[in-house]
Amino acid sequence: MVNTFSFACSACGKCCNSPPAMTLPELFRHRDLFIGCLAIGRVPRRRAGERLRAGQHESVLDETDAAAFASLADTLLHGAGDTFSIVTQGYDYPSLARCPALEDDGRCGIHLKGKPVTCEVVPLDPLVPDTLQHLVLAGRNQSALYLGTDCIQEGPRADATLLVAEGRIEDANAQHALARRRHALEQEKAMWGRAVFESLRNDLFESPAALARIPSGGFLTISIVPALLAVAGASVRCREWCLDYIDSQLALIDRRVAQALLRRRLDDRPVTQELRGFASAFQRARTLLVAPKQSRNEDLVFASSVEAYLSSACN
């Protein structure tokens, strides 16, 4: 069979080499373990006739493929023309080369306490149509991260789950995880993503000089505060949850920076600077959020949606 891949995760932990993308409620739930940030990436619009290649696999996109990419972009991403992903994620010192939840035996320490949905989706990509996931797997099968792990294999294998075949996701768990991650991204866009995109429109998304700060194929990381301010404004309860989150994050940043100072690594210094910047942004947000509020009309529908969205992590 062509374009067929199997997958068998042995939980070796090799792909847990940095903190993952996490939803805001997931970051709230694990607020004493993960420092939250916003990661902003550029995602080019795909056009019919465009050739995508990964390893030995190649596809020339037709109108249906281009429409499937556009549908995902319209639902999950931001902007027109070139589109941008804005996600919340964990942040830590790259020199540690590990997710903070990774145990020394290679296991995930939060597997039973709410493992991030993005980790359940591995090795698929929610921004790629199901019919083209074989290209994602072909690319990942060749990446250094997965080399030597054998978890992604071409063709059907007796000792692995058939993941993708002939343009379909074959495994029900993978289908479910992809659906949940896409739903989560859609929800994040509605709860705070649109507001953050608008708040950064002039200073980032419409400024060529600022856009140049987004590395090609990578992410620009900034403070998570714009997302917090978007949800904190929904109701008094949301504001209290955000203040609680800010206090936990300030304490966690203090601990992480103190550990880094003991390591005395030169390459940690810019990260420490960035974390101090995050801490300053949290302090400013704290001052803003504790200040007495003018009475104003709350959007009760939005308030109850945001409370429901955050409550799984805060109660």
Closer to ligand SF4 by CB, 161 or 311: give it: 161
By CB under 6 A, residue 101 contacts ligand SF4 = yes
By CB under 6 A, residue 115 contacts ligand SF4 = yes
Please say whether the beta carbons of 112 and 120 come within 8 A. Answer: no
Query: Which of 21, 77, 87, 99 is the binder for ligand SF4 (CB under 6 A)?
Result: 99
Structure tokens at 165: 């075949």
> Residue 284 is which amino acid?
R
Q: Shortest CA distance to 188 belongs to which of 47, 33, 75?
A: 75
Spatial separation of the C-alpha atoms in residues 91 and 277, rounded to whole Å: 13
By CB under 6 A, residue 265 contacts ligand SF4 = no
Beta-ladder partners of 102: 108
By CB under 6 A, residue 151 contacts ligand SF4 = yes
Query: Which of 27, 110, 174, 231 is the binder for ligand SF4 (CB under 6 A)?
Result: 110
Site string for ligand SF4, 3-32 (x = CB under 6 A): ------xxxxxxxx---x------------
Where helices occur in 122-235 by DSSP H, the ranges are 133-142, 172-188, 194-200, 208-211, 225-232
By CB under 6 A, residue 160 contacts ligand SF4 = no
Site residues (CB under 6 A) for ligand SF4, limited to 120-149: 122, 146, 149
Positive or negative, the CA dihedral 86, 211, 249, 109 is positive
By CB under 6 A, residue 64 contacts ligand SF4 = no
Of the ranges 111-119, 166-174, 175-183, 279-287, which one interacts with ligand SF4 (CB under 6 A)? 111-119
Contacts of 292 (CB under 8 A, 6+ apart): none
Instruction: Give me the least distance between CB of 49 and ligand SF4, in Å please.
Output: 33
Query: Which of 38, 73, 87, 102 is the binder for ligand SF4 (CB under 6 A)?
Result: 102
Query: Which of 66, 108, 243, 314 is the binder for ligand SF4 (CB under 6 A)?
Result: 108
Site string for ligand SF4, 229-258 (x = CB under 6 A): ------------------------------
Please say whether the beta carbons of 9 and 124 come within 8 A. Answer: no
> Residue 139 is which amino acid?
G
Instruction: Give me the least distance between CB of 22 and ligand SF4, in Å please.
Output: 8
Helix, strand, coil share (%) of the chain residues, nearest 5: 50, 15, 35
> How many residues sit in the footprint of ligand SF4 (CB under 6 A)?
21
Spatial separation of the C-alpha atoms in residues 303 and 61, rounded to whole Å: 42
Binding site for ligand SF4 (CB under 6 A): 9-16, 20, 99, 101-102, 108, 110, 115-116, 119, 122, 146, 149, 151
